[in-house]
Structure 1
């Protein structure tokens, strides 16, 4: 595996993922009981936007770079921008860093990263935080070992590199089948890339039939999903989403579709219930 997130940190897909992550954690924290956050592909946790990798692609310029001046527009966006600003002007927080800043004193995090170099950075970042546990191991296998958590409540973020698209979806589905059996009440968020929209049909069919009680699919396109050679959008499927997550995200998605659209393109966003409380599949 050669993927390094440093090349893509702060891009539009990160913006979507991290805004949804904040909304999920805050919704779970509406109840006082502690929660556990499990990240299956945690990465390094923090990225230098002035570094060679980030400047080579300049993807952050079309992501977080377009949003910094919008503080005050929406409460959820403000919280995201504040968390990014807390890292300093030249750095961007990965999902583990954002989650760690939101977790309460009695919450916990299990961070999995297979690449030794990235795992070492993750350990260094959280070496003084006793709530955070770093595992240098395969995240899918860790789901089986670490679920259900002792806290009995929480969120699993599955955010793989998708270097092999078809195989990655198969691994996700297998891992979720096991996880939903072991921890059926858990909240699971699966990030996925969008190139050709029709290629997602099999995964969405699986989501409609999976063991989760409800499934909310969140999609952001910065250009039409018709060219397979480029990243046209990103999505997050949330299994067992917290109450009113869709209402929380709706105004934000409209804003992101407008602000993050590729130059000369029209961005679009949607929230789609693939499975509802009554068992209906959309």
Structure 2
């Protein structure tokens, strides 16, 4: 797939990242957390229910072997900041987008399916940790933001709330947000009239188009409902697209990496 568009001056001006070092800074974002994967890598995720974390599917695969990661090695650290989390939870099960295939080349088809849900062993019921609502795909040029952990800022989340959607093509959102390794799975937010954040995508990849750094993410829409159904029913869907479900007892090692796709 080729993404053909011209970047306007406004779209090239990324807002500065705000590091959320204090409790006051991060109060609204406690449901965003770092996902630690067997001590060998990390991604970003966000609660969309007290026991459900939304993230990127590629975080659940070993980058060397291509095999699924054992979920017993995955821990969600809600509100992780400077050595402490608001809540610590291990993952019980995980399910990925029905059409995601880690073995495929990293292209637009893989990016648009790069979504996963993690079911926690125990819900997070703390009053300060409020799961986010999800919403439909944002419009082109709509203001968006994201909260993420990444390389060289893994000990506290950073907020960027003034980037925008540059393009939508074949289920892929191209965004002006600033991302780096570790930001995989970071929630992308739109803001309603009251300013309340709603998750509209998760960060899948970073790329460079016309010499400008961009972030790529998948649209949530119907696949999120399918994945929730798969977890609730405890069964793979038979009559619809295949849903992969992982439980404890599978492969132990991981090297979660941030994908850098070839967009041509």
Whether TM-score is above 0.5 comes out as no
Return the structure number with greater strand share: 2
Return the structure number with greater helix share: 1
Q: Which has the higher contact order (CA 8 A, sep 6+)?
A: 2
TM bucket, shorter chain = under 0.3
